[in-house]
Structure 1
Amino acid sequence: MGGQPERLTWAEADASVDRLAAVFHAHGLKKDDVLVVQLPNINDLSLTYLAAARLGIIVSPAPVQYRESELGYIVGKTDAVAALTTDRIGKHAHGDMLMTVAGRSPALKHVFVMGETCPAGAIDLEPLLDAVTPKQMKAARDAMKTAKISADDVFTICWTSGTEAQPKGVPRSHNEWIIMGAGVVDAADLGHGARILNPFPMVNMAGISTGFVSWLLTGGVLIQHHPFDLQVLLKQMRDETIDYTVAPPAVLNLLLQNEALLAGIDFKRLKAIGSGSAPLSPWMVKTFHEKYGVQIVNYFGSNEGCSFPSAWQDVPDPAERAVLFPRFGEGLRWKAMLHDRISTRLVDPETEEEIREPGRPGELRMKGATVFSGYWRAPEVNERAFDADGWFRSGDLFELAGEDNRFIRFVGRLKDIIIRGGMNISSEEIEGHLMGHPAIAEAAVVGAPDERLGERLCAFVVFRPDQSADMAGINRYLTEEKQVAVYKQIERLEIIDALPRNPVGKVLKRDLRDRLGETAQA
């Protein structure tokens, strides 16, 4: 954003939250109003969450990669009355972009902008913060007292992509966030005053539960990181003497393959690292423990709260912890605090039969304190998201494993999504955009395996007669005309004569994935 790094004490943060809440209240924001926020991992993002919480405002955070298409949909779906961003993030003019969105969205009355410049019609936030009066502060405090906020009120609406063409809003209450944060603190064995380094965008389950809620619950220190830069992250790990951080499996593998990078890190203090979003290497989990005394916590998680850890307290063997998760429910007892707060079961998605024998994949279904109540203003989607008994359909396939079937092992996804660097991307969304391209007759999007990001977007494309396009041109169409986020660009283009289909016309994506596997093997 062009600003300088800043450090705040708890008292300074408290005063900043008071001023921000006063500005929100002075502009008419009240309980249950929706505020769309698009900020990177900076202190102001935490302050915004806290100021909104005091007034009962619902925060809807958007990844910094989102553009007009996604932001316009979010604003319309939530009837957001305000938005907060900065004039630029990197080279992109986010303030101007949100003003464009506001011009198309009658309900969006206020666009607060931080930074050096403020677009015409937007509200320059920082001068207002400096000019807050005692009268405004008192009025905001009075509003906090009369808002009657409960822990079951919605605190955030985060966004997730599944098989639906459009993102789905996931409302979560204070209680639902607190239980997830407590689960992180418990799994990582974090004590009071823990120093937490957070490199995950604080806009969804991974970043908010790890970075924001765990920091609050431990009364500790939150060190933010964004965008991901390995050398900066390593410097923070050395300079900040951290107790805990999180990283994708590929990054942890890379560090052990280049151990000189780990020099200078205080491993007497850094005792745990969280990871997930892709299968973990047993070698990596074992080596971090044996050489550095670091326990790797394996997380499975989703924005909907279908989330749980595999930690050393319950799965001491590193090789098992890399691939197995404790099975919660059925009277099974574990040391993890979440064990009696959530229940899981595996179900055959075709027959709805509960699976009780090992080695047979089934869809993970889940109930409990961490699981959300349903997607925002999406009754049709909710009918499909929960089964007849109220269990959330995760769309993820697991199988029973281990002694007495006490564990579950992830084996794949039922839903057609691509997880690129921890971000869920709907194949259907991208396919819908590609079908609008003048040269494309048919398209299917699948995830191409990638060591660093887990998956990258691969498009299998059938061109119209006498038409063609290259990958750069298709991506310009996606980002400029369709205005989708940059991370949703095609990263591999496969041109074919026809998409493989079954007898009823459904595209056989497994055949397309097999082609990718054969190419990689060759």
Structure 2
Amino acid sequence: MASASSTSARSLFADSKMRLADRVQVNVNNVASLARHIIRGSKSSEMIMHSARNFAMQEHAIENSEINLKKLQLIHVHLAYQHDSIMRSSQQLEEVKEQAFSQTNFKSSNLMLVRFLRCQLKQKPNFTVEEPIPVFCKATKFYNKVALRDSVGTYTYGNITLAAKELSEKILKRINGKINSQIAFLCPNDASYVITQWAIWMCGQAAVPVSKLCPFEMIQYFAINSDSKLLITTPENAELFDRIATATKIDLMILDSDLKEIALTKSINKFSPDSPISFDINSTNAMILYTSGSTGYPKGVVLTHKQILNQISALVDAWKLTSDDAILHVLPLHQSHGIVNGLLCPFYVGAKCIMLPKFNANDVWAHLLGIKSVTDRQKITIFMGTPKLYTLLIEEYNTLFSKDLKIEDYIRSTLKSKTRLMACSTDTLSPILYQKWIDVTGHKLLQHYGMTETGMFFSQKYGEYYEHGYVGLPLKGCSVRIRKKNEDDKYETLLECNHRNNDLKLILDRQLKTVTGELLLRGDGVFKKYINKATDTAFTDDSWFKPGDTCEYSTEKNMFRVVARTDFDIIDTGNYKISALQIETQMLNHPDISDCAVLGVPHTKMGNYIAALVVLKNEISSDALKEWMKSNMPECTVPNIIKIVPCIPKNAMGKVNKMELSLQMFMNNSELFNTGIHELLPVHQRAVNFFDRLALRDEKGKYTYGNIYAAAAEVAKEISKKVDKRVGAHILYLCPNDSSYIITQWAIWMSGHVAIPVSKLHPRELLEYYVDDSESDLLISTAGFSELMQKVSKNTGKKLMILDENIQKNTLTKSANKVEELQKIDNNTNAMIVYTSGTTGKPKGVVFTHNNIISQINTLLDAWRWKADDVILHVLPLNHLHGIVNALLCPLYVGAKCVMLPNFNSSDVWSHLLGVKTPDNKKISLFMAVPTIYAKLIQEYETVFEKDEKMRDYIKTYLTSKVRLMISGSASLPVPIYNRWLEITGHKLLERYGMTEIGMCISQEYDSDRTPGYVGVPLRGCSVRIGNQMKDGHYKTILECTNKNDKIDLKFYTEVTTDTSIVGELLVKGDNVFKEYYNKPDLTKKEFTSDNWFITGDTCKYSIKMKLFKLLGRTNIDIIKTGGYKVSALQIETQLLGHPEVLDCTVVGLPDAEYGQIIAAVIVLKNENFTVDALQEWIKAKIPSYSVPRTYTIVKSIPKNTLGKVNKKELILEMFSDKS
């Protein structure tokens, strides 16, 4: 009778079609019936019957309430379990009989299993509990005990071990008997995970667990990076893993769909130990766990069996785990918290694990309160969670239970008496949440600290004093140090604490109440290495691991507290060092804040601003929040900026990636400059962060970063086959402006070589010069340029590699491929040789290292506020830095999108700028061009749109609202073009200064009121000088200006007033400056001063009044010395272009016996009837008489290179041969 009632209670709500009112009535009746039955079993249950009657009387009040329905569901089942005299159901009795029957066969079969596992581990015949043996070997001691329960059934240790043994044999066959390989696997949170993990270990392999919460590209990266030889997954994830297997060419094994059901039937007498694999637990890798990536690129942490066992042993000791424990497991199974703490620890002592397929607050409460457990008598004794999970449980509690005092008392008393330990990681565990959990459950959450590389390292000990925010003392086998830099910028150890053999020793350098500094860790559980990545920077010289956290030790409390991540959570602001975690903890005390994240974002004056992202429970203004903070927090900790957001993105462990959050939230904030938050990685390595994002659109299609990366990896392999050098080969390539260019560039870098881009506009003779001058080892071309490049190849004797003509089409279907043989890149090695335009002489090969390029990119990312949702329209040539670095590598570095046109066409450009050829969510937000392009766009506008007033208004409104930045460079921007573009589009073109040898060096500031003709101030990390060359060749410095962390430092070496303008030759220094001219050491030396400043050859002016720099022209060409005056050709050109009849012009200096040089102007007129005399009269009124041209030449067009530059030396020879 009792059994029937219990069964009825459990299945009460199976019929989802039953009307709510009917379900409530049945529920109430069932509670009353069950209570009467319990009374018959015990007079002490009168209270329960009384409670049931109360529920029946309140039926009308809860008739249509889903919330109360859940409440009744929980309560009536509590009643079913409340009395110990209720008989077990027949099904439970059968389970007991089956276990008893298994016991009779245990002795003989168990002996065989023990021998098998000992053979694997080369153990002595009689091992003790203290001996370090892997979990799957310890299973022999608990063979007939229940190990795990999931949604399918209840498994003994024997069930799992036998199923794992059979699977291990299948795995060995798939990998041809190899051992010490890596196997990546994806299984749900159930018995299949444990069986697969144990099977991988049994056959001597390292397990690489991944999670379905990770995006496809990231799982693919894990498989590639870990060098996995086999992929294993369950049928429900087969489609995902099949895609990965196809892309990576790694063998795939799909587990049987009935694996778990078969495991339940495994009995001991079927066990047969044959072909065992032996391994050494001290040296054999057991797992590769990938870091969360919250502080950068995910790294594969290699752990041996011995290291994992040491982590387990330390926690078993600290948390007093026993075989009587039953843990409720809801954590992800690809990180240490879920695997070691939540799974391996209980298995090691023979405890029970109840695994839920995923976290669901209602299910968790049901299990914690004893509705679902291993047996009727066994309740949950341990629960582990993250602050995020505990927050969700509190929210569910508030919804279901918080208004019923009886239920609240029942929950508190049940959990206090049945559950002995509840643990929580310390990620921003607010004091409110900590106290609320105590109020609800009677439990103080045990807090601990650890990370993927170390496992748990600190923990409060079970049964001892807990205090919020503190993580106790080092675990057994662990040692910690706290160190700090002294005044001499050298580290000194402030504290060392060692926990060895249950003996805790603490050494303090000096007597202080608290000791705070950088945390260092050493212990038996610290990881072995990172897979395929150097660990040099992860450890000190004396082998202490640097976790990157700041730690505090309280002598009064004799406990440690982790303050923050040293790099992201310690904010230097206004001479204070502030803990972001402490601010978050204080903010979470506000009743209207449900979640928050505090970031330090670099600022020009404060060093860092404190920025807070806030998720609200109830509507409240940011101003009101700030006032509350001012009243409740120290002034120096109040955030400068508060952003209300709907949610804060977190990973499966509830951690926030603050680096990515900074990029997303504050990259385009006019007050903030995100200095130093970009990883110092080449672009193609950064692509792993954006595999599923759209990178590029060309005339053939749309490509994700993963598409391009995969295609580049394949081309890289082909390159490696064709060149004799392992690294450092010079590879010259000619590709159109489409995806083939990026694929080739990345492939060259992936294979460790040097890229030399050239243009289709270069004549064959010039291409051959580039090949010979650069000493190219290989030429690469697309099929479209094969005829030209075959001639170049033949004439130079160099190998030619023609890319597959379907490379773009094929790339569209690719995903990231296996690239294990690709070269690791040292950022100090050469990356690119870019040839100068040759406007001032023969083209020179400018050599850049990867560091040079990364420095140029990072500088521009901050200056121009690049962000991941930007879309740039690319129309520039790809053999100069303007098109390569500014317009291509910058967007690709942050995960932005690039729309590439095959060549410039003014009609196409207008279509894209106005969104005609771009989807709504991919509108152009940036555009860069040279002045010639802007002039042609203006001509197109005047032809097509000028006469339509509505169209004029629409274009201006659209472009000011959709496009955030337009930039001009590579040549002087005439003021008339600047003004006309402003009139048409509403955009003030941002001007900047750079050259092939230095990249970008000076730029107008993003938020400045841009003045035409002036190029702004030095970019971050750049230093400039204005000087005059003396007779002995040395330069006398007049001015020096440095931008250090966005702070402009200006020094004058001459007397100045506010009206002074300083003019001289421009010199530049910084990480952006090139390494050398290839094969030209004497020329390289000549172009640098003795103190290593690069001589640009440009004449520059600095206006003290405007605090801006202005380029006057090339010192040897654009500065014309006439009649004792130095005149800027560029300034004269700017004035001439202001005349409405002048379409284009250039000004040069011609030799003259009387004046030294005379000024000559070459003019292109709009109206052929316009006379030179009229122009001469007009210009006389605009400029000083000594600047007025003496001679004019009218032409139909002025020859320019692809960047709109005029080669004035050649122009003089061509047009003024008699003068030259």
Q: How does the TM-score come out when normalised to structure 2?
A: 0.31
For residue 516 of structure 1, what is the aligned residue in structure 2? none
Structure 1 letter corresponding to 2:1036: E
What is the aligned partner in structure 2 of residue 143 from structure 1?
821
* TM-aligned CA distance change 1:413 to 1:219, over 3 Å: same
Mapping of residues 23-102 of structure 1, within 5 Å: 23-28=718-723, 30-88=726-784, 94-102=785-793
Q: Distance in 2 between matches of 1:25 and 1:267?
A: 48
Contact 1:40 1:201 in 2 (8 A): no
Cα 1:193–1:173 shift into 2, 3 Å: farther
Task: Name 1:367's counterpart in structure 2.
Answer: 1069
Question: Is 1:201–1:226's contact at 8 Å kept on the other side of the alignment?
Answer: no
- The structure that has the greater radius of gyration is 2
Q: Distance in 2 between matches of 1:82 and 1:213?
A: 23
Distance 1:248 1:346 in 2: 26
One-letter amino acid of the structure 2 residue matched with residue 105 of structure 1: T
Segments of 5+ residues of structure 1 without an aligned counterpart are 89-93, 117-124, 329-337, 420-445, 453-470, 476-486, 501-506, 508-522
**Match in the other structure for 1:408:** 1109
Q: Distance in 1 between matches of 2:763 and 2:720?
A: 28
Report the counterpart of residue 700 of structure 2 in structure 1: 5
SS of 2:960's partner is coil
CA distance in structure 2 between the partners assigned to 1:451 and 1:363 by the alignment: 33
Q: Deviations over 1:360-418 (max 9, x none)?
A: 53111000011112111111211221112211110111122132x73221111124599
SS at match of 1:143: coil
Q: Which residue pairs with 2:1013 in the alignment?
A: 323
Asked if structure 1 preserves the Cα contact closer than 8 Å seen for 2:1062 and 2:1103, the reply is: no
Deviation of 1:77 (Å)? 1.9
**Greater displacement, 224-233 / 183-192:** 183-192
CA contact (8 A) 1:205 1:301 kept: no
Distance 2:756 2:1092 in 1: 26
- Identify the residue that residue 120 of structure 1 maps to in structure 2: none
Counterpart secondary structure, 1:15: helix
Quick one: which of 269, 280, 284 aligns to 2:962? Answer: 269
Residue 112 of structure 1 corresponds to which residue in structure 2? 802
The aligned counterpart of 2:245 is none
The aligned residue for residue 249 of structure 1 is: 931
Counterpart secondary structure, 1:252? helix
Which structure would you say has the larger RCO, counting Cα contacts within 8 Å and 6 or more residues apart? 1
Please list, as runs of the form range in 1=range in 2, the aligned pairs for 1:261-410 lying within 5 A after superposition.
263=954, 265-282=958-975, 285=978, 292=985, 294-305=987-998, 307-313=1000-1006, 316-318=1008-1010, 320=1011, 322-328=1012-1018, 338-339=1019-1020, 341-351=1021-1031, 352-356=1035-1039, 358-359=1060-1061, 361-403=1063-1105, 406-410=1107-1111
**Distance apart, 1:193 and its partner CA:** 2.4
SS in 2 for 1:60: strand
Do the aligned residues in 2 keep the contact of 1:202 with 1:211 (CA within 8 Å)? Answer: no
Mapped to 2, the partners of 1:451 and 1:402 lie a distance apart of 37
Q: Residues 61 and 254 of structure 1: is their aligned pair in 2 closer, same or farther, counting only changes over 3 Å?
A: closer
Deviations 1:311-357 (A, max 9, x none): 3446x233x2x2223344xxxxxxxxx33x11101111344222356
Q: 2 CA distance for matches of 1:451 and 1:87?
A: 41
- Contact kept in structure 1, 2:717 and 2:751, CA below 8 Å: no
| TM-aligned CA deviation for residue 76 of structure 1 | 1.3
The alpha carbon displacement at 1:194 in A equals 1.1
Q: Is the 8 A contact 1:41 1:225 kept in 2?
A: yes
Whichever residue aligns with residue 766 of structure 2, its letter is E
Q: Verify: 1:179 aligned to 2:855, yes or no.
A: yes
> Counterparts of 2:937 and 2:765 in 1: how far apart (Å)?
37
Q: Distance in 2 between matches of 1:308 and 1:451?
A: 35
Q: Secondary structure at the match of 2:847?
A: strand
Q: Which runs of 5+ in 2 are unaligned?
A: 1-697, 947-951, 1040-1055, 1119-1128, 1131-1159, 1167-1194, 1200-1205
- State the distance in 1 between where 2:1099 and 2:1108 align: 14
1:295 CA drift (Å): 4.5
Instruction: Give how far 1:156 is off.
Output: 0.9
Residue in 1 that maps onto 2:312: none
Q: Deviations over 1:417-443 (max 9, x none)?
A: 999xxxxxxxxxxxxxxxxxxxxxxxx
Residues in 2 aligned to 1:126 and 1:215: alpha-carbon distance in whole angstroms: 20
CA distance, structure 2, for counterparts of residue 389 and residue 66 of structure 1: 36
Give 2:833's match in structure 1, choosing from 143, 148, 157. 157
Residue 303 (structure 1) shift: 1.0
SS of match in other structure, 1:65: coil
Aligned partners of 1:169 and 1:17: how far apart in 2?
Answer: 25
Distance 1:344 1:198, change over 3 A: same
CA distance in 2, matches of 1:126, 1:296: 34
Distance 1:303 1:228 in 2: 22
Question: What are the residue-to-residue correspondences of 1:216-235 with 2, within 5 Å?
Answer: 216-235=892-911
Q: How does 1:452-467 map to 2 (within 5 A)?
A: none
Moved more, 213-222 or 21-30: 21-30
RMSD (CA atoms): 3.7
The alignment partner of 1:354 has SS state of strand
- Whether 2:693 is the aligned partner of 1:17: answer no
Q: Determine helix, strand or coil for the equivalent of 2:719.
A: helix
The answer to whether the Cα contact below 8 Å between 2:1061 and 2:1104 also exists between their aligned partners in 1 is no
- Secondary structure at the aligned position of 2:1037 is classed as coil
- Deviation of 1:309 (Å): 4.2
Q: Secondary structure at the match of 2:755?
A: strand
Q: Distance between the aligned counterparts of 2:874 and 2:768, measured in 1? A: 28
Q: Is the 8 A contact 1:163 1:415 kept in 2?
A: no
Give the counterpart letter for 2:781 in structure 1.
T
After TM superposition, give the deviation of residue 101 of structure 1 in Å.
2.0
Secondary structure at the aligned position of 2:1066 is classed as: strand
How far the C-alpha of 1:234 sits from its partner, in A, is 1.2
TM-score by length of 1: 0.68
Report the Cα offset of residue 115 of structure 1: 4.2
Q: 1:18 to 1:401 in 2, by over 3 A?
A: same
Q: Deviations over 1:97-119 (max 9, x none)?
A: 2222222323x223325549xxx
- Could you say what secondary structure the match of 2:766 adopts? helix
**Mean Cα displacement is larger for which, 154-163 or 385-394?**
154-163
Q: CA deviation at 1:211?
A: 2.5
Opposite residue 78 of structure 1, the aligned amino acid is S
The answer on whether the counterparts of 1:188 and 1:297 sit within 8 Å (CA) in structure 2 is: no
Tell me the matched-pair count: 404
Report the equivalent of 1:426. none
For the residues of structure 2 that align with 1:413 and 1:451, how far apart are their CA atoms? 25
Q: Which residue of 2 aligns with 1:422?
A: none
